[in-house]
């Protein structure tokens, strides 16, 4: 595969000291059934052999380097340099399943009312075994999605998302002051303006290992995100109560996990 000059999709891989994982991520993207894409790797100041590992791929990837500014800044640099009409993200320790991009791009073209799309995904443990299929919900409306995201009823995994690039003009880029929960903040802002949907089939793998945040149980919920979103959505306590009455009786994935 040679570098495509006018790709339809730009796949952005932010990475920091992931020399032992990133080749699996890259190889999973190069193995896609759909071929009209580019891969942008944003090295967030790695001090290991990440650059040397990536160099072996030659023109099959675009390599960008920045000092260690965090995952939000890395994704933003990738978005700014992306040439595709659509943006996909793949964390450097995750993997795409072969049909991911094709299934998503076909859906978005068939249903242009949707501007971003997420999917189910496989959760894989340190032994390479599938622990479970994570199944975020497909919401009935933009309001329903806003409710679910705000109340963390399910998790949209960043490596499952495909979004039209021009959505970032209105929703804004990732907030670079957030090193955690920056993805939650982004999906909440996208949902403020655009309809998002879920493909109810696993199309990516989320790997749990000793070096990622989930394995350490990191759960940082910035209260300023909630405060900002309440203002953006123009929600008050009365509105929150009405949404809870309207949507709260359903059972969502994170409700099951916490029960």
| Structure token pair of residue 133 | 């299929």
Q: Tell me the per-residue pLDDT of 147-194, one tens digit each, with 9 for 90 and over.
A: 999 999 999 999 999 999 999 999 999 999 988 889 999 999 999 999
SS3 assignment, position 180: coil
- Residue 74: C-alpha distances to residues 27, 64, 176, 211, 256 (Å): 20, 9, 9, 18, 33
The pLDDT value given to residue 257: 60
For residue 94, pLDDT over 60 is answered with yes
For residue 31, pLDDT over 50 is answered with yes
Q: Tell me the per-residue pLDDT of 206-216, one tens digit each, with 9 for 90 and over.
A: 999 876 655 44
Q: Give the chain's end-to-end CA distance (angstroms, integer).
A: 47
- Residue 166: C-alpha distances to residues 72, 83, 88, 117, 247 (Å): 18, 11, 13, 14, 30
Please compute the mean of the pLDDT values over residues 5-20 and round it to a whole number.
95
Q: Tell me the per-residue pLDDT of 38-81, one tens digit each, with 9 for 90 and over.
A: 999 999 999 999 999 999 999 999 999 999 999 999 999 999 99
For residue 217, pLDDT over 90 is answered with no
| Structure token pair of residue 74 | 């890395």
CA distance 224 to 227: 5
The pLDDT value given to residue 218: 47
Reported as a pLDDT band with limits 50, 70 and 90, residue 2 is low
| Structure token pair of residue 219 | 């759960």
Topology at the third CATH level for domain 9-258? Spore Coat Polysaccharide Biosynthesis Protein SpsA; Chain A (3.90.550)
Reported as a pLDDT band with limits 50, 70 and 90, residue 3 is low
Strand partners, 205: 95, 122
CA distance 173 to 189: 10
The pLDDT value given to residue 220: 60
DSSP code, position 141: S
Please name the residues in contact with 191: beta carbons below 8 A apart, sequence gap of 6 or more: 142, 145, 146, 149
Q: Flag whether the pTM goes above 0.85.
A: yes
Q: Are 204 and 158 in contact (CB under 8 A)?
A: no
Q: Are 131 and 214 in contact (CB under 8 A)?
A: no
Longest dimension (CA), the chain: 57
CA distance 166 to 37: 17
CA distance 28 to 9: 15
The pLDDT value given to residue 258: 54
**DSSP labels, 26-80:** HHHHHT-S---EEEEEEEES--SSHHHHHHTTGGGSEEEEE-S--HHHHHHHHHH
Residue 172, by phi and psi: left (phi above 0), alpha (psi -120 to 50) or beta? left
SS3 assignment, position 159: helix
For residue 219, pLDDT over 50 is answered with yes
Which residue has 């990738």 as its token pair?
78
Please name the residues in contact with 44: beta carbons below 8 A apart, sequence gap of 6 or more: 14, 15, 16, 66, 68, 69, 70, 71, 73, 74
The pLDDT value given to residue 71: 95
């Amino acid at each position: 595969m040679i570098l495509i000059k006018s790709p339809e999709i730009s796949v952005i891989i932010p990475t920091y000291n992931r020399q032992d994982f990133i080749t699996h991520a890259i190889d999973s993207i190069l193995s896609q059934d759909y071929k009209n894409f580019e891969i942008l790797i944003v090295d967030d100041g790695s001090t290991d052999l990440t650059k040397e590992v990536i160099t072996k791929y030659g023109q099959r990837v675009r390599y960008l380097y920045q000092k260690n500014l965090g995952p939000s800044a890395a994704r933003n640099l990738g978005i700014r340099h992306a040439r595709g009409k659509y943006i996909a993200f793949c964390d450097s320790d995750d993997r795409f399943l072969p049909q991911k991009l094709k299934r998503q791009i076909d859906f978005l073209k068939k249903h242009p009312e949707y501007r971003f799309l997420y999917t189910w995904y496989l959760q894989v443990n340190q032994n390479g075994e599938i622990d479970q299929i994570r199944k975020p919900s497909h919401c009935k409306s933009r309001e329903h999605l806003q409710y679910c995201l705000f109340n963390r009823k399910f998790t949209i995994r960043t490596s499952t998302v495909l979004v039209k690039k021009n959505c970032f003009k209105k929703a804004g880029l990732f907030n670079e002051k957030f090193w955690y929960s920056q993805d939650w903040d982004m999906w909440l802002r996208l949902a403020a303006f655009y309809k998002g949907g879920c493909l109810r089939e696993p199309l990516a793998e989320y790997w749990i290992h000793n070096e990622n945040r989930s394995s350490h149980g990191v759960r940082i919920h910035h209260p300023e995100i909630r405060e900002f979103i309440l203002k953006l959505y123009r929600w008050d306590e009365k509105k929150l109560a009405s949404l809870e009455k309207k949507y709260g009786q359903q059972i969502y994935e994170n409700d099951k996990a916490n029960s």
